[in-house]
Amino acid sequence: MKPEIAQKSPYAVAVESGKTYYWCSCGKSKSQPFCDGAHQGSPFSPVAFTATENKTVYFCGCKITANQPFCDGAHSKL
């Protein structure tokens, strides 16, 4: 089973140090790029990321990155 492509570009998110974020791996979440539980009943699970500093990170939007939960440019091949 393949994930749904939420968008063909990354999501730039300002993260806060010490906060944990749950990236949607299935592509069905209505609160992209984060999990809202839409994966229930599928083989997908959210990917946890805990920020170590305040900064902007780029979460994958196409869901086919090899570096979950971050964008690795895989969307450029779609």
- The pLDDT of residue 24: 98
- The pLDDT of residue 6: 98
User: Does the N-terminal peptide bond of residue 33 adopt cis geometry, omega within 30 degrees of 0?
Assistant: yes
pTM confidence score: 0.95
- The pLDDT of residue 15: 98
Mean pLDDT of 22-26: 98
Side-chain half-sphere exposure of 20, counting CA atoms within 13 A: 4
pLDDT tens digits, residue range 36-78?
999 999 999 999 999 999 999 999 999 999 999 999 999 999 9
pLDDT tens digits, residue range 1-17?
999 999 999 999 999 99
Q: Cβ distance 32 to 25 under 8 Å?
A: no
Q: Of 66, 68, 48, whose CA–CA distance to 58 is shortest?
A: 68
Q: Cβ distance 75 to 62 under 8 Å?
A: yes
